[in-house]
């Protein structure tokens, strides 16, 4: 997951203000405007819980195999329901 994708996930979770394209994020829709639904806090939590484990992982090759296997399983389940 790149920094751009993490930022995008943080924006979806916290919402966006300014630039003419304002929307409430998932957390703001569920819990209202709180200090922990702000963009900076959500991006920090995203970085710590998503990016940091990926950086600290020693065997990334094993992780990519597991990720591919999970994606194949998800696609199979989606095809069963279609």
Q: Tell me, what's the pLDDT at 9? A: 74
pLDDT bracket for residue 24 (50, 70, 90): confident
The pair of structure tokens assigned to 30 is 């569920």
Percent of the chain with pLDDT over 70: 72
> How is the chain split into domains, by residue range?
3-81
Residue 28 has pLDDT above 80, yes or no: yes
User: Tens of pLDDT along 46-64?
Assistant: 778 877 777 777 666 666 7
Is the Cα torsion angle 57, 62, 68, 71 positive or negative in sign?
A: negative
CA dist., res. 22 & res. 13, Å (int): 13
Q: Tell me, what's the pLDDT at 11? A: 75
- Residue listed under structure tokens 């943080």: 10
């Amino acid at each position: 997951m790149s920094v751009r994708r993490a930022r995008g996930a943080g924006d979806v979770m916290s919402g966006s203000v300014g630039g003419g394209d304002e929307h409430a994020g998932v957390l703001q829709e569920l819990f209202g405007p709180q200090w922990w639904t702000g963009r900076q806090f959500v991006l920090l939590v995203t970085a710590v819980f998503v990016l940091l484990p990926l950086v600290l992982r020693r065997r990334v090759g094993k992780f990519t195999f597991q990720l591919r296997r999970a994606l194949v399983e998800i696609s199979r389940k989606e095809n069963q329901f279609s």
